Amino acid sequence: MALVFLEEKMPELKGIVNFDSEASMFCAYSFDKEALGQYAISFKNMCEDDVTSKDLFSRSELD
């Protein structure tokens, strides 16, 4: 879901914000603190919007 959000809602940060997940841990990282903060706040706001988050989740691939 985080990747779908990045690709669809914040494509300008693609390649700047990256993800690394293992088992029960999710990690978003970047060398650009401002970009990471912008992504984190926007992603949090999206997660609090039921309609948008359900839509993105429905198109996300589950590992």
In this structure, what is the dihedral angle of CA atoms 11, 13, 17, 23, given to the nearest 10 degrees?
-10
pLDDT, tens only, 43-63: 999 999 999 999 888 888 766
pTM for this entry: 0.82
pLDDT, tens only, 10-34: 999 999 999 998 878 889 999 999 9
Structural domains of the chain, count: 1
39 φ, ψ to 5°?
-60, -50
- Kindly state the average pLDDT of the residues 33-42: 96
Domain containing residue 20: 2-58
> Is 21 part of a structural domain of the chain?
yes
